[in-house]
Structure 1
Amino acid sequence: MCGIVAAAAQRDVAPLLIAGLKALEYRGYDSAGLAVLNGGEIRRVRAKGKVREMEGLYRADPFPGGTGIAHTRWATHGVPNTANAHPHVQGGVALVHNGIIENYATLRGELEARGHVFTSETDTEVMAALISERMVSGKSLLDAVSSVVHELEGAYAIAVVSDSEPGRVVGARRGAPLLVGVGIGENFLGSDAQALIQVTNKIIYLEEHDVVEITRDQVQVYGHDGKPVERAVHESELSKDAVERGEYRHYMQKEIFEQPRAVADTLEARISPNGVLPNIFGVGGDELLAKVKGLHIIACGTSYHAGLVAKYWIEEYARLPVNVEVASEYRYREAVVPDGTLFVAISQSGETADTLAAMRESRRRGYLGTLAICNVPESSVVREADLKLMTRAGPEIGVASTKAFTTQLAALGLLTLQLAHQRGLDGARYADLTAQLLHMPSMIEKALELEPRIIELSERLIHRQHALFLGRGAQHPVAMEGALKLKEISYIHAEAYAAGELKHGPLALVDEDMPVIAVAPNGPLLDKLKSNLQEVRARGGELLVFADGEASMDGNASRGVILRMDGGGDFIAPAVFTVPMQLLAYHVAVLRGTDVDQPRNLAKSVTVE
């Protein structure tokens, strides 16, 4: 959600800023802009729409300069238009901002009373005006920013330049990510490493309340008390190739097909044919997990669905109670925390605002400890957790998560096995579950072979306006994830239900215009599911059933298709059956001509409430 790039260099920075913004397009945005210090003045260009629209305006009238800031905006305060696009300029100060300033209306009213005139509806312009006012009173850019951020309520990551201090950029963060890219004779700020990998792989991850000043020769970070602090420089493992589409039409398609490798990487050196290896959750992890009497899993969106699958696994195999809740609800209620409860936060980015706030709130509520399952090693969620397990999915550019989900399931599978083994799961069953988890990458690989058939089936959905997804047991969250993917990128309204709930309401919607997609692995609930599907058939509904190859489905659907596949076993079937759901959503969206990687109104990393 929103993206920041800034640079202080001895070369023209506008092309670097534009390239950085393009690397951040996956985050979701509705306008873009950049500002460069040019000959003692601020030159700015902004445009509603894609980065390429703004780039075209810049190339029509380019301007040189070695210091600049740039931004992709996802609208919060004010509609998407050029006037509300960043950077915002007030009194020789230009500023870009991710986040939401909750007390901006009060601050704006005070500024207007002192004669300030605003040209946008944003909270961002208020910050620029406050900083400009402090500089007029004699403060340096660094001191002005440092004093203003203490007045702000809410979340922010900002980058600021001033026409009176060329060659200098000041940044600050609270509740939204911001990092420093360290170069040779040039330094940078960015929302994440992908924005900077084109220019440097040396990264400093700023901490909460940090303020940073960069010039082309120096980086200095200041802590909450305003005193200089040292922050470690990390070498990013990202590569330019990792964030390119290659032979694939869209990033989402590439990421769907990266899942076997990503899952294998997540399992590597963490599990053997004999079981889960020691201390994969960090120092003291095995000892802490042995004390667990229950779990609270907190997440958002796709990660929430992964948590729901884990609830079925952990309760069945480890016999521990599990509560799963969306982070935005959890943090605003007083949850009961039984003794010995482990708090588990699942997040692809590790910067999801609600999940991060929920984890911080958990400190007050007396949990046994916190575990982060995440894809970004230096993210806030990971840094603040007691235990962590990285998913090793690599960069995920498409807004609709795919490999994030299956790698999270792989990580949660490891957690399930560890908890189950510690609590005396039968040895033969533990060996079977271990073998299934080790085979998850190869079973996902086999599921990907269904793509040609799914391309044909996707034509059945392209003119539909609604779809219903059904699943039972651990496949119910898979149905939820399938419905989410379809609605996210194809804009077809889709809902998921536990199949047994069909007759309690959703059956009223079933007719010849309502396709019903069902997940049907072989297992003890299969006969129940088949009865639910007969109810759909009897009402003329068109069925698309993803069925285990060994499952008896009582003949062919009179209207619809049964697609056979191998789920790989009851434990890993949720991950394997997810893959055709992803492919179905992707190919329906392609046929409908939507923006697959950047669906409307959505952002990849939700860093505001």
Structure 2
Amino acid sequence: MCGILALVKKHAQDAYCGNECIPLLKRLERRGYDSVGVLLKNQDQYTLHKSIGSVDCFLNKYKQKLDTTCSNCILGHTRWATHGQVSEENAHPKCNGNIAIVHNGVVENFVSLRNWLSNIEKIDVETIQSDTTLLLHVVQYFLDESPDIQSAFRKALKKIEGIFAIVVLFLREKNTELYGMTKGTDLICGVSDSEICVTSDLFSVSERYNEYLNISTEELLYISNGKLTIYNAQNQIKITNDNISENTYKTVLTNISKYDNYSSYFLAEMHEQPDIVHNLLTQKMDSEMLDLVHKLSIIKKVIFVSCGSSYIATNIAKYWLRSINIEAYVEYASEYSNYDHHDDKIVVFVSQSGETMDTVNCAKLFKNHHYTVALVNNVNSALSRVTNHVNAMNIREELSVVATKSFTSQLACLYRIYLGLKNNKIKFVNIADTLREVISYVTNKIDILLPLLKEYTGFMFTGRGEGYGIAQEGALKMKELAYVYSDAVPCGELKHGSIALLGEGLCVVFFLPNDSFLYKNLITLHEIYARSHNVLIVADNETSQYLSKFSKAYVTIVPKIHNLYVFSHAIFIQILAYKVAVTVHNNIDRPRNLAKCVTVV
């Protein structure tokens, strides 16, 4: 799930300064930031720069060279490692002196393809550490075998199994000769009067271009002398410079958060939540959401399919819908294998980016069989294109890798669906003010407890019903931000095994709202406290009266809004994980080994 970037000037006399690619590469970091590479080509000469880490690390190393190098073509890449360790050697672009290649995706037949190549080319397969290096050899092999370059690329594409996109640049030509191909994943072409851009992510170029093209599977993109040609799967010309405008889509300018007054996007986006939640809960439903509510009221069965924090949001919503006799189920997209198309149901796919490969692949299986809905923030996303209907959250793009406002926005949208089914017109008041008070109070409380909390080597989050969903999100946040082992266990399941873990190094985070599970939760809390006092109890104003017997535990009182505690508790776990992460100086916006947009299976 890497970021691909190619910039090509249409006119030979025009040139790029090397650093022009940096803003675009920064926006591609949501696809990965294990390493960065940039190739600058000027006629038949090129320079190649690579570094481990983020674009900022790359810029620190090469800024002077980029500032003083001109080129008429730039080939760039941000990597999230799949095959091959994180190293400068495995960073893209990969070159052999004749061609350079950048790649996004996974080669599924890596082993068999490497063995095939070793037999015909007598290459030492042990030197091929990454799938991109393998692709470089495969493409070069077919180029050597065929005088027809387009035929060579198509043969290479058929030989490779998996979901991927590649861009290949010829290095020995004085003019820019560039090819692009995709198989099952996005390849976008941005166009303007002066340049052509090829990328794997529309977000990276949405501020630079007014129009863009989608390159479909098995189509071949070709750029030569500043002219663009796209061939269809039958090798017939589909698009040229003359008819580009007839085939382009308008770019939707993506609003992004600013963090002038904060130390990270994470903090800025966390502080946006009060207004976002208020707006989503109080605004009128649009036609798409009204249609979904109407369908649900008739069919009364829904399956939510998603990953990560989106999965957890739907797991919470499941309890709301079941309380009003809607048959609601929640599935991980990566695990869902029950493709039963016979019974009547609604399938809702939830994703912040709309590009999550597991979710997109799952949606493709259902589109022609059921009423399918994408709940996304990006209406131009891949998920939006493979579902029948789109419900848009319409919040500004979330830039921090770890979900904050996207999670609470999904909860708010799902809660509105629940209220619509109940035909309940709640008049929400003071939501934003209450949540701002939560941020202020919890921040101060955690600061007081932090010297004790930071010493724990593990956290166990627990709750019942919606509280278990919040526990899941809390455990995920602690892992993502603080790199501390954490788990989420339903309260009732603690006694069936996990209670054996209670001890000095483990802190239990216990959610105790005033809901229908209160007295059961108090019993479980007593069972925990009898064995360990390392408990952080997250209560509200109504349940705090039951805590006198837990004098040695840590207690935080978090107010709720209109009998809804999930939004307050969501903010609590975000602040808790953030504060612990800061004590060990972790990168808040770019946690290790993660990416914002997960486009591999």
Q: Scaled by the length of structure 1, what TM-score is found?
A: 0.88
Once the two structures are superposed, residues 419-454 of structure 1 have per-residue CA deviations (whole angstroms, 9 ceiling, x without a partner) of 344xxxxxxxx13xx335x76545433322222222
Matched, 1:375 2:377: yes
- Cα shift at 1:380: 1.0
Matched, 1:445 2:436: yes
Change (3 A) 1:107 1:592: same
**Equivalent in the alignment of 1:248:** 262
Tell me the percent identity. Answer: 30
Check the 8 A contact 2:166/2:182 in 1, yes or no.
yes
Check the 8 A contact 2:6/2:76 in 1, yes or no.
yes
Check the 8 A contact 2:97/2:171 in 1, yes or no.
no
Check the 8 A contact 1:7/1:169 in 2, yes or no.
no
Aligned partners of 2:183, 2:289: CA distance in 1, in Å? Answer: 27
Check the 8 A contact 2:272/2:405 in 1, yes or no.
yes
Query: Any residues of structure 2 matched to 1:77-96 within 5 Å, and which?
Result: 77-90=83-96, 92-96=98-102
**Equivalent in the alignment of 2:273:** 259
Check the 8 A contact 2:466/2:566 in 1, yes or no.
yes
**Equivalent in the alignment of 2:557:** 564
Change (3 A) 1:281 1:142: farther
Check the 8 A contact 1:5/1:190 in 2, yes or no.
yes
Change (3 A) 1:128 1:13: farther
Change (3 A) 1:177 1:383: same
**Equivalent in the alignment of 2:401:** 399
Alignment partner of 1:183 out of 192, 200, 208: 192
Matched, 1:342 2:346: yes
- Cα shift at 1:210: 4.1
**Equivalent in the alignment of 2:479:** 487
- Cα shift at 1:484: 0.6
Once the two structures are superposed, residues 517-574 of structure 1 have per-residue CA deviations (whole angstroms, 9 ceiling, x without a partner) of 122222221222122222222223222222122224424432232222221133x322
**Equivalent in the alignment of 2:315:** 308
Once the two structures are superposed, residues 288-310 of structure 1 have per-residue CA deviations (whole angstroms, 9 ceiling, x without a partner) of 44442311111111111011011
Aligned partners of 1:263, 1:142: CA distance in 2, in Å? Answer: 51
Matched, 1:238 2:254: yes
Change (3 A) 1:52 1:566: closer
**Equivalent in the alignment of 1:97:** 103
**SS of 2:546 mapped into structure 1:** coil
**SS of 1:161 mapped into structure 2:** strand
**16-25 vs 469-478, greater mean Cα deviation:** 16-25
- Cα shift at 1:204: 3.4
Check the 8 A contact 1:483/1:495 in 2, yes or no.
yes
Once the two structures are superposed, residues 5-48 of structure 1 have per-residue CA deviations (whole angstroms, 9 ceiling, x without a partner) of 21002322531223322232343332111112233034212222
**SS of 2:289 mapped into structure 1:** coil
Aligned partners of 2:44, 2:378: CA distance in 1, in Å? Answer: 39
Matched, 1:212 2:221: yes
Q: How many residues are paired up?
A: 583
Aligned partners of 1:140, 1:457: CA distance in 2, in Å? Answer: 68
Once the two structures are superposed, residues 107-163 of structure 1 have per-residue CA deviations (whole angstroms, 9 ceiling, x without a partner) of 333333343757541211232233334444565665543443233211112222112
Once the two structures are superposed, residues 477-509 of structure 1 have per-residue CA deviations (whole angstroms, 9 ceiling, x without a partner) of 111101110111101111111112222222222
Alignment partner of 1:125 out of 128, 133, 136: 133
Once the two structures are superposed, residues 304-330 of structure 1 have per-residue CA deviations (whole angstroms, 9 ceiling, x without a partner) of 10110111011113x111111111110
Check the 8 A contact 1:530/1:553 in 2, yes or no.
no
Alignment partner of 1:171 out of 180, 184, 207: 180
Aligned partners of 1:13, 1:264: CA distance in 2, in Å? Answer: 45
Check the 8 A contact 2:384/2:390 in 1, yes or no.
yes
- Cα shift at 1:455: 2.6
Q: Scaled by the length of structure 2, what TM-score is found?
A: 0.89
Matched, 1:48 2:52: yes
Alignment partner of 1:149 out of 152, 157, 160: 157
Aligned partners of 2:467, 2:578: CA distance in 1, in Å? Answer: 20
Alignment partner of 2:34 out of 30, 34, 47: 30
Aligned partners of 1:575, 1:42: CA distance in 2, in Å? Answer: 52
Letter in 1 for 2:438: A
**214-223 vs 91-100, greater mean Cα deviation:** 214-223
**SS of 1:608 mapped into structure 2:** coil
**Equivalent in the alignment of 1:427:** none
Alignment partner of 1:546 out of 538, 541, 544: 538
Query: Any residues of structure 2 matched to 1:402-413 within 5 Å, and which?
Result: 402-413=404-415
Aligned partners of 1:157, 1:459: CA distance in 2, in Å? Answer: 48
Check the 8 A contact 2:33/2:55 in 1, yes or no.
no
Aligned partners of 1:68, 1:488: CA distance in 2, in Å? Answer: 33
- Cα shift at 1:278: 5.6
- Cα shift at 1:403: 1.0
Query: Any residues of structure 2 matched to 1:105-116 within 5 Å, and which?
Result: 105-115=111-121
Aligned partners of 1:308, 1:60: CA distance in 2, in Å? Answer: 50
Letter in 2 for 1:179: I
Query: Any residues of structure 2 matched to 1:278-317 within 5 Å, and which?
Result: 279-281=287-289, 285=292, 288-317=295-324
Change (3 A) 1:143 1:420: farther
**SS of 2:222 mapped into structure 1:** strand
- Cα shift at 1:336: 4.5
**450-459 vs 72-81, greater mean Cα deviation:** 450-459
Check the 8 A contact 2:257/2:396 in 1, yes or no.
no
**296-305 vs 536-545, greater mean Cα deviation:** 536-545
Change (3 A) 1:361 1:196: same
Change (3 A) 1:250 1:524: same
**Equivalent in the alignment of 2:516:** 524
Matched, 1:361 2:361: no
Once the two structures are superposed, residues 140-194 of structure 1 have per-residue CA deviations (whole angstroms, 9 ceiling, x without a partner) of 6655434432332111122221124533433233333332222330121223244
Aligned partners of 1:245, 1:175: CA distance in 2, in Å? Answer: 35
Matched, 1:464 2:456: yes
**489-498 vs 553-562, greater mean Cα deviation:** 553-562
Change (3 A) 1:291 1:234: same
Aligned partners of 1:4, 1:169: CA distance in 2, in Å? Answer: 13
Change (3 A) 1:265 1:6: farther
Alignment partner of 2:77 out of 49, 71, 87: 71
Aligned partners of 2:142, 2:503: CA distance in 1, in Å? Answer: 65
Check the 8 A contact 2:19/2:63 in 1, yes or no.
no
Aligned partners of 2:383, 2:250: CA distance in 1, in Å? Answer: 17
Change (3 A) 1:555 1:260: closer
**Equivalent in the alignment of 2:581:** 589
Superposed structure 1 runs of 4+ greater than 6 Å apart: none
- Cα shift at 1:206: 3.9
Change (3 A) 1:56 1:392: same
